[in-house]
C-alpha cells in the first residue's frame, strides 16, 4: 500500500544553493498501516532520556547517532502498541543516505545532489543544490542512477556545519561540501579525488565521520567491481584548508571501504574500517584486504586484522567488508561479513592475520550494527540477531528475529527497529526476545536503508524521500 505524499510549490527560506524548485510538502499518510502485536516491556536504552510525559530530544548528527556507530537513541518516550507513519515527504530523488538530525532540524540528502533541511512535520527550512550528479552512462558500471549523494552526511556542532560528499558528472569527480547548518549556504568545497586510482570507478557510499579536527570520507567501488578502484579513506580539515590526508588499501585493485556505516571511532579518536576483498588470493602476498584496519587521525595504519582464510575469502567474495566494525565498550570489536563467520577482536590490538579473540558461525551480515552494553544487534541477511559478548570475548546468540527483518537496526524508545527492505516495512522488536511487536508500512526503501532517531520519531529514507514514523502512535 503506497504512502500518500504531496509536492507543491512554495517559497524557500533556504540558502544560496537553492535553485527555486518546488519545495517538499508532507502529507499525513492515511493509507499507511500499523500492524501491532501484544508488546512486552523492554529494557531501557542507555542514551539520553527525558522526564516522564515529555519527548526526549537527542541529536542524531551522524550514521547511527554517534561516532562509535552504537545506533542507540533515547529510551523515552516509550514506543506505543501502534506506531504509525505521520508524514511522507516527497523529494527530488532517491535517498540512500540515512537522515541526520540536530536541534529542530532534520537533514536529508538525495542522489540528485540536493540537501534538504526539514522540521519534524516535514516543512522545509532550507535547500541546497550541489551540482549535477553523475549519470549511469558516465560510469563504467554501477546500479545507482543518477549517482549523487550516497554516503550519510555528518553535522559538526562546533562549527554549525553539515558536511556532505557529492559525486558529480561531466567529468565524474567527488567533492566534500561544507554547508551552513542554519541556512544551507555553501561555505567551501574541496576535492576528494587523489592520484593512484581510477576516479570514475570510485564510489562514496560509507557514512562520513569526524575525528581529530577532520571529516573522514571512505571510498569503495561501484556495483560490478569494475575498473581500477581501491579502498581509501580521505581526511579533510573541518575548515577546508590544507592538504588532505589519506590511507589507501595497498592492494592491486578493489579492497573497498564501502559499507554504509563508514568508519567507527573509538575513545582515542582512532578510525576502524572494514575492507572488502582485494586482488590478492591463494599464493599471493597479503594486501590488507578482507580486514579490519585501525587508523590514527593522520590516516596512518596502526593495526590490522584479517581471518586466516583471507586468501580464499578474497577468491570467493566472502570478505569482512560488508559490515561496519562494531565497537563494544572500550575493549572489543565485533566484525562479521559475507562468510557467515563472526569475529571478536581487541580494540587497539586487533590481532594481525588469524589473531582474533574468538570466532563463531553467526550469519552473513551487511550494514550497520547497534550496540547496547555487551549486546550487538546484527543485520543478518536472514533476520537480525542479538549477540552477547562475554567478559572473555566469547559470543552467544540470544535471539534471532524473523527472516524478513534484516535491515541495519537502531535501538530507541524501548524497542529495536529494523526494516524489511523488500516489503517496505519498519518493524519494532522486543529487545529481550526479538519478537516483532508492531510493523509500519513506510514505502519503498533501498537495500541498506536504516532509520534515524529524533524526538519520538523514526526517520526512514525512501526511494522517493522521507517517511516520518511516530513511535508512540
Place of cell 550494514: 367
Q: What angle do CA 184, 186, 189 make, to 5 degrees?
A: 140
- Whether residue 327 contacts residue 266, with contact meaning beta carbons closer than 8 Å, is answered with yes
Residues 6+ apart with CB under 8 A from 139: 147, 172, 200, 201, 222
- The alpha carbon of 98 is separated from its chain's Cα centroid by a whole number of angstroms, namely 6
User: Is the Cβ–Cβ distance between 75 and 372 less than 8 Å?
Assistant: no
- Which 8-state DSSP code applies to residue 226? -
Classify 1-91+367-473 by CATH class. Answer: mainly beta
Hunting for cell 572489543 — which residue is that?
332
Distance CA(450)–CA(64), nearest Å, equals 8
DSSP state of 41: P
Q: How many residues in the chain?
A: 473
Pairing between strand 301-306 and 352-353? parallel
Q: What angle do CA 144, 145, 148 make, to 5 degrees?
A: 80
- Residue that the C-alpha cell 519545495 belongs to: 23
State the Cα–Cα distance between residues 67 and 421, nearest whole angstrom: 25
SS (H, E, C) 284-335: CCCCCCCEEEEECCCCCEEEEEECCCHHHHHHHCCCCCCECCEEECCCEEEE
Measured CA to CA, the distance from residue 68 to residue 352 in angstroms comes to: 22
DSSP conformational letter for 136: G
pLDDT (tens digit, 0 to 9) for every residue of the chain, 473 residues total?
A: 334 333 333 323 334 344 433 345 444 443 333 333 323 323 333 333 332 233 345 899 999 999 999 999 999 999 999 999 999 999 999 999 999 999 999 999 999 999 999 999 999 999 999 999 999 999 999 999 999 999 999 999 999 999 999 999 999 999 999 999 999 999 999 999 999 999 999 999 999 999 999 999 999 999 999 999 999 999 999 999 999 999 999 999 999 999 999 999 999 999 999 999 999 888 899 999 999 999 999 999 999 999 999 999 999 999 999 999 999 999 999 999 999 999 999 999 999 999 999 999 999 999 999 999 999 999 999 999 999 999 999 999 999 999 999 999 999 999 999 999 999 999 999 999 999 999 999 999 999 999 999 999 999 999 999 999 999 99
Task: Map residue 199 onto helix, strand or coil.
Answer: helix
> 427, 435, 428, 424: which is closest to 29 by C-alpha?
424
Evaluate if pTM is beyond 0.75.
Answer: yes
- CA atoms of 234 and 206, how far apart (whole Å): 12
Q: What are 60's three cell numbers?
A: 542524531
Which residues sit opposite 346 in a β-bridge?
332, 349
Cα 222 to Cα 203: distance, rounded to the nearest angstrom: 6
Instruction: Please compute, for residue 245, the number of CA atoms within 13 A of its CA located in the half-sphere on the CB side.
Output: 16
Distance from C-alpha of 421 to C-alpha of 443, rounded to nearest angstrom? 9
Q: Which pLDDT belongs to residue 443? A: 98
Q: How far is CA 417 from the centre of its chain?
A: 14
- Considering only CA atoms, give the Rg of the chain: 21
In the beta sheet, which residues pair with residue 388?
A: 375, 396
Amino acid at each position: 500500500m503506497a504512502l500518500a505524499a504531496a509536492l507543491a510549490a512554495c517559497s524557500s527560506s533556504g540558502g544560496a544553493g537553492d535553485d527555486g524548485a518546488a519545495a517538499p510538502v508532507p502529507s499525513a499518510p492515511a493509507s499507511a498501516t500499523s500492524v501491532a502485536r501484544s508488546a512486552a516491556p523492554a529494557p531501557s536504552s542507555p542514551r539520553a532520556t527525558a522526564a516522564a510525559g515529555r519527548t526526549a530530544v537527542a541529536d542524531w548528527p551522524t550514521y547511527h547517532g554517534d561516532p562509535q556507530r552504537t545506533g542507540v537513541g533515547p529510551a523515552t518516550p516509550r514506543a506505543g502498541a501502534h506506531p504509525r507513519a505521520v508524514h511522507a515527504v516527497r523529494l527530488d530523488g532517491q535517498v540512500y543516505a540515512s537522515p541526520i538530525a540536530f536541534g529542530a532540524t532534520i537533514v536529508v540528502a538525495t542522489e540528485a545532489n540536493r540537501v534538504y533541511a526539514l522540521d519534524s512535520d516535514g516543512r522545509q527550512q532550507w535547500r541546497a543544490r550541489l551540482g549535477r550528479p553523475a549519470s549511469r552512462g558516465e560510469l563504467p558500471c554501477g546500479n545507482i542512477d543518477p549517482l549523487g549523494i550516497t554516503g550519510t552526511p555528518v553535522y559538526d556542532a562546533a562549527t554549525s556545519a553539515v558536511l556532505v560528499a557529492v559525486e558529480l558528472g561531466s567529468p565524474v569527480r567527488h567533492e566534500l561540501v561544507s554547508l551552513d547548518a542554519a541556512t544551507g549556504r555553501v561555505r567551501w568545497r574541496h576535492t576528494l579525488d587523489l592520484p593512484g586510482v581510477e576516479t570514475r570507478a570510485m564510489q562514496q557510499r560509507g557514512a562520513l565521520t569526524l575525528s581529530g579536527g577532520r571529516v573522514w570520507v571512505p571510498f569503495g567501488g561501484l556495483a560490478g567491481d569494475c575498473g581500477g578502484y581501491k579502498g581509501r579513506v580521505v581526511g579533510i580539515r573541518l575548515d577546508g584548508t590544507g592538504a588532505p590526508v589519506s590511507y589507501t588499501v595497498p592492494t592491486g585493485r578493489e579492497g573497498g571501504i564501502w559499507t554504509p556505516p563508514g568508519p567507527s571511532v573509538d575513545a582515542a579518536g582512532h578510525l576502524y574500517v572494514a575492507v572488502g576483498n582485494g586482488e590478492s588470493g591463494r599464493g599471493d602476498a597479503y594486501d590488507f584486504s578482507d580486514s579490519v584496519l585501525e587508523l590514527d587521525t593522520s590516516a596512518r595504519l596502526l593495526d590490522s586484522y584479517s581471518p586466516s582464510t583471507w586468501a580464499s575469502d578474497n577468491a570467493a567474495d566472502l570478505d569482512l567488508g560488508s559490515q561496519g566494525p562494531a565497537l563494544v565498550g572500550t575493549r572489543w570489536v565485533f566484525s562479521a561479513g559475507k562468510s557467515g563467520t563472526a569475529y571478536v577482536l581487541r580494540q587497539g590490538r586487533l590481532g594481525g592475520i588469524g589473531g582474533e579473540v574468538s570466532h563463531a558461525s553467526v550469519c552473513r551480515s551487511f550494514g550497520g550494527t547497534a550496540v547496547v552494553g555487551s549486546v550487538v544487534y546484527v543485520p543478518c541477511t536472514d533476520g537480525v540477531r542479538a549477540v552477547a559478548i562475554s567478559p572473555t570475548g566469547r559470543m552467544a546468540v540470544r535471539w534471532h528475529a524473523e527472516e524478513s527483518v534484516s535491515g541495519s537496526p537502531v535501538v530507541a524508545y524501548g524497542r529495536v527497529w529494523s526494516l524489511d527492505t523488500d516489503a517496505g516495512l519498519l518493524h519494532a522488536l522486543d529487545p529481550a526476545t526479538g519478537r516483532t511487536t508492531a510493523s509500519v508500512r513506510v514505502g519503498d526503501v533501498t537495500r541498506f536503508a536504516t532509520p534515524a532517531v529524533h524526538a519520538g520519531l523514526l526517520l526512514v529514507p525512501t526511494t522517493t524521500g522521507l517517511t516520518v514514523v511516530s513511535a508512540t502512535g
